[in-house]
């Protein structure tokens, strides 16, 4: 199978058809497959909102849809790639477009689709992160042991707390995993989402947690947990995790999922000590091609 793909890739470099920008007016000419994450109207809206980041081959109908990754304008995420032998040329064209637009990184996630490593090598992409997925089940309702930690909810209209949240997020996480203002805006307005800032007895912000309770089921997700760098190693991570689990359990969740980076040994130990267990069938990888200054990962 690998030899066949590589042969197709070699031919495509010689016989690549014309690749052109995909506009919202042309989107109806695409044949969106059953696995596409877009409906026609959704795609038209996406192309209007993020012009110039999508390309296609009119003669074959192959295409790549790009957009800001996690609302990060400096990172172009491959939202959808529908192509066979011309997948690598399409990605190379997207990288060129992103370079001309002054972006720093083009990123592909294997969250929904897995490809052979030879494919990424041919496109000049490197492995950025391996994402590990964990689950806690069953979830018991508990009274969290918070010590001096007190939590307050962050609401979309609360500008002061949102500023504190953004500052802590950027201090606690490496560049690749920063949440942007736009990401928090979208996140705070999403159904079932709650974010809480944790303060110590002096009122200083030392942690935050973000959780999602999915409607119509017993499933919750721990989206984010962060502790200020100068307060790590003092038990605030455990207490914040205890609080997040209690919030979801109180809303009826009997299973809680989360994900973390394979290289984040501290977080992995915390979750495993608490009782979370790997669900390896849901792990996935992030691949990227740097076109600007490298960010901390």
Q: Is the pLDDT of residue 232 over 50?
A: yes
* Residue 106 · residue 289 · CB < 8 Å: yes
How is the chain split into domains, by residue range? 2-124, 135-284
Overall pTM surpassing 0.85 (yes/no) = yes
What pLDDT does 215 receive? Answer: 74
What pLDDT does 10 receive? Answer: 54
Region 214-236 average pLDDT:
92
Q: Is the pLDDT of residue 1 over 90?
A: no
- Fold agreement between 2-124 and 135-284: yes
pLDDT in tens, 186-217: 999 999 999 999 999 999 999 999 999 987 66
At the fourth CATH level, which superfamily is domain 2-124? Gcn5-related N-acetyltransferase (GNAT) (3.40.630.30)
Distances in whole angstroms, Cα of residue 178 to Cα of each of 74, 158, 276:
12, 20, 24
Q: What is the mean pLDDT of the chain?
A: 93
* Residue 295 · residue 174 · CB < 8 Å: yes
For 129, the enclosing helix (H) or strand (E) is strand 126-136
Handedness of CA 263, 266, 74, 48 (dihedral sign): positive
What pLDDT does 4 receive? Answer: 52
| 135-284 CATH choice from 3.50.50.60, 3.40.630.30, 3.60.40.10, 3.40.50.720 | 3.40.630.30
* Choice between 59 and 12, residue whose per-residue pLDDT is larger: 59
Q: Is the pLDDT of residue 276 over 80?
A: yes
């Amino acid at each position: 199978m690998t030899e066949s793909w590589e042969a197709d890739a070699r031919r495509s470099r010689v016989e690549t058809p014309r690749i052109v920008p995909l506009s919202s007016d042309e989107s109806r000419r695409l044949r969106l497959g059953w696995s596409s994450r877009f409906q026609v109207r959704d795609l038209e809206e996406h192309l209007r909102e993020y012009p110039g980041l999508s390309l296609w081959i009119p003669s074959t109908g192959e295409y790549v849809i790009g957009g800001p990754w996690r609302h990060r304008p400096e990172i172009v995420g491959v939202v959808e790639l529908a192509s066979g032998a011309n997948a690598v040329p399409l990605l190379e064209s997207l990288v060129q477009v992103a370079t001309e637009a002054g972006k720093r990184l083009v990123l592909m996630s294997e969250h929904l689709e897995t490809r052979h490593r030879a494919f990424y090598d041919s496109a000049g992409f490197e492995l950025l992160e391996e994402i590990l997925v964990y689950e806690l089940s069953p979830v018991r309702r508990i009274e969290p042991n918070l010590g001096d930690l007190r939590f307050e909810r962050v609401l979309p209209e609360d500008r002061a707390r949102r500023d504190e949240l953004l500052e802590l997020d950027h201090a606690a996480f490496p560049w690749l995993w920063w949440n942007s203002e736009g990401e928090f805006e979208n996140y705070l307005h999403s159904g079932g989402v709650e974010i809480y800032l944790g303060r110590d007895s002096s009122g200083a912000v030392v942690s935050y947690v973000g959780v999602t309770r999915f409607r119509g089921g017993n499933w919750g997700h721990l989206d984010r947990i962060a502790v200020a760098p100068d307060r790590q190693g003092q038990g605030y991570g455990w207490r914040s995790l205890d609080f997040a689990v209690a919030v979801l359990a109180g809303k009826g969740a009997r299973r809680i999922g989360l994900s973390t980076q394979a290289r984040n040994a501290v977080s992995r130990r915390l979750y495993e000590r608490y009782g979370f267990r790997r669900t390896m069938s849901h792990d996935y990888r992030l691949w990227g091609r740097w076109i600007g200054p490298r960010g901390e990962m």
